[in-house]
Amino acid sequence: MTLNPSLVSLTNAAPETLHPTERDNLVGTAVFRSTCALCHGPGIAGAPRLDHREAWLPRLAAGVDVLYQHAIDGYRGEQGLMPPRGGNPSLTDDEVRSAVDYMISRSQSAPPARARISRS
């Protein structure tokens, strides 16, 4: 995996000393925070938020390879808009995949969204 130097500094770790899975987790977290959170944090343009597990289910049903493809190449369709590489052309394919893996992991560990009760 080739790491983007700006992301290595965000992880505050020496990537060569980490197990690949740990390195991917650090990179995925850093990419999410620096790029993906802009849309996936507030859930704009159809981007599913990390705490909305149900919103991820139809995307996961399509398969992780489809998620990788949409994140790398971009997507425009019924589920919203995804700019290529989250709008950050400096990201490598591996960095984008690490961010997707991070978001999948976080979204599926989130508790189910609670129905909002309107109080009049």
User: Which residues share a beta bridge with 22?
Assistant: none
CA separation (Å) from 43 to 33, 50, 95?
14, 9, 21
Q: Would you mind telling me the total number of residues written for the chain in this entry?
A: 120
Per-domain residue ranges for the chain? 20-109
Query: What number does CATH give the domain 20-109?
Result: 1.10.760.10
Give the pLDDT confidence of 96-108 residue by residue, as tens digits.
999 999 999 988 8
pLDDT at 79: 81
What's the burial of 102, exposed, middle or buried (CB within 10 Å: 0-12/13-18/19+)? buried
- Given this model, what pLDDT does residue 9 score? 46
**Global pTM value:** 0.75
pLDDT at 80: 87
Arithmetic mean of pLDDT, 78-104: 94
Distance CA 15, CA 67 (A): 25
Give the model's pLDDT for residue 24.
Answer: 65
> What are the pLDDT digits (tens) for 13-70?
444 544 446 666 899 999 999 999 999 999 999 999 989 999 999 999 999 999 999 9
